[in-house]
Structure 1
Amino acid sequence: MIDLHLIGIGTGNPDHLTAEAVRVMNEADLILLPRKGSAKSDLVDLRRTICAQVLHRPVRIIEFDMPVRDASVPYMQAVDEWHDAIAAAWRERIATHLPNGGSLALLVWGDPSLYDSSLRISDRLKAAGVETTVHVVPGITSIHALTAAHAIPLNPLAGSVTITTGRMLRKHGWPAGADTVVVMLDSGCAFEAIESAGIEIWWGAYLGMPQQALERGTLTQAAPGIAARRADLRARHGWIMDVYLMRKELADGSR
């Protein structure tokens, strides 16, 4: 039996971990850390830093190379095959390092419930015959970190919020009926593909990290600067994690 603990670690700042997350990490028999290539080496470095700061007892920490998603095939097929490959990597480490079962912890950016596939991948362990009980430790999402950094509420008074991805925003445009839209997993400034009039944007990258970057303003005025800054930061660091919130001006002129 494997007790699999998916631990939300926020945006990588050790101060964002909950007391429950710290406790579960220290109770684990094994912690798996994924490596995502040299361009994103500081991502695994952040996980190492978190472990070094919060572990007060010896816990085995094993790193593995994260499979790469195939960009040459249709998106859903690529994601499905990618999840299969990640599950296989987990199974291999479990067989090697926890052959008699035990407690396994995985550190998940943000919260495992929001645009993260760890829960879906864990289902593949069960389907492959690995007897698994899944436990989730919630964490701070990048949305929480973004609204806190800008000191704004997530929703307008009595208004709605839609959470979507850059791919969906570019494909379908502004979601029907939404006052506020939060966009995650945007690899290419999808805000440039929508009508900008009457929309304000709050953008953030590397939230909670030393290199945190923030921008805000009307979408018409801010979009070019955000796109340029995003490209510069990506070139400088080799990777970027960003999220943004956009809000339409309401009928009473408020946002």
Structure 2
Amino acid sequence: MIGTLWLIGIGTGSLRHVTLDGLEAIREAAVILVPQKGSGKDDLAQLRYQIIEASGSSAEVIPFDYPERDPALPYLERVARWHDEIARRWQAAAAGAMRQGPVALLVWGDPSLYDSTLRIAERLAPRAAIRVIPGITAVQALTAAHAIPLNQVNGPICITTGRRLRDDGWPVGADRLVVMLDGEASFQTLDQSDLRIWWGAYLSMPEQILEHGLLADATGRILAAREAARARHGWIMDTYLLSRDTN
């Protein structure tokens, strides 16, 4: 049983992204669960271990293997079953803990923005008491890396996924659009004639890559950079902002 669950946002790759509240929670947690996401993604687990060590935490650290989604299932069913299995693995890992007290997970980015940790936590039976410590999001890291504002003056901003961009196109009423969770570079599906892009991968990590410019000019550079980086690291996590303003 997980009685108390702390979800601690750790930013997007820099040890300095963890807030003072986050550091305090890491130090005070009794148990910290660390997902192992398989070959090629060891650096994601290593960053978590580095943060735990740098915090001075004495928590019992328990790794667990992260499940994979079944590509044969329809998307929503695939995600639901995946979340069920992740919750089961949290509970199985926590069941072997020697220490009693709050169980923590270090969440990439922020637990509230395009992250399913909170939804997975709802599957725990019995329900755990949940505490969320916010972290720096990929959106913040992207705009900071490019030194740009998120919105135009008095303008709206939309945050969406690559899947939605592919399926639905440009959202009605949006001047600027942030796209996350896009494994297929879905900006290629848009009419590129009046769009500008600010793109970043491995944001705030030593491996960080940035590109920006008119989308028609930058697409080739971004695709080449994505392919080379994925071959080098075995994974890639990127985010980008699109705008109709080409000035």
Say yes or no: TM over 0.5: yes
Mapped partners of 1:95, 1:41: distance in 2: 24
Match of 2:168 in 1: 172
Report sequence identity in percent. Answer: 51
**What one-letter code is carried by the residue in structure 1 that aligns with 2:101?**
G
1:42 is aligned to 2:70: no
Match of 1:246 in 2: 242
1:57 CA drift (Å): 4.2
Deviations 1:92-151 (A, max 9, x none): 12222168x5201100000000011110111000xx22x410000000000000000000
Contact 1:12/1:47, CA 8 A, preserved across alignment: no
Mapped partners of 2:242, 2:57: distance in 1: 44
Pick the aligned partner of 1:152 from 130, 148, 153. 148
Mapped partners of 2:36, 2:28: distance in 1: 23
How many residue pairs match? The answer is 246
1:15 is aligned to 2:11: no
Match of 2:58 in 1: 58
Contact 2:8/2:106, CA 8 A, preserved across alignment: yes
SS of the residue corresponding to residue 7 of structure 2 reads strand
SS of the residue corresponding to residue 46 of structure 1 reads helix
Q: After the TM superposition, which of the residue ranges 90-99 and 228-237 deviates more from structure 2? A: 90-99
Match of 2:157 in 1: 161
1:162 CA drift (Å): 0.5
Match of 1:118 in 2: 117
Mapped partners of 1:170, 1:58: distance in 2: 45
Runs (4+) of structure 1 exceeding 6 A deviation are none
RMSD: 1.3
Which residues of 2 match residues 206-245 of structure 1 at below 5 A? 206-245=202-241
Gaps of 5+ in 2: none
Mapped partners of 1:140, 1:87: distance in 2: 24
Q: After the TM superposition, which of the residue ranges 87-96 and 184-193 deviates more from structure 2? A: 87-96
SS of the residue corresponding to residue 154 of structure 1 reads coil
Contact 2:196/2:242, CA 8 A, preserved across alignment: yes
Mapped partners of 1:98, 1:124: distance in 2: 23
Match of 2:71 in 1: 71
Q: After the TM superposition, which of the residue ranges 208-217 and 57-66 deviates more from structure 2? A: 57-66
**What one-letter code is carried by the residue in structure 2 that aligns with 1:92?**
A
Contact 2:26/2:57, CA 8 A, preserved across alignment: no
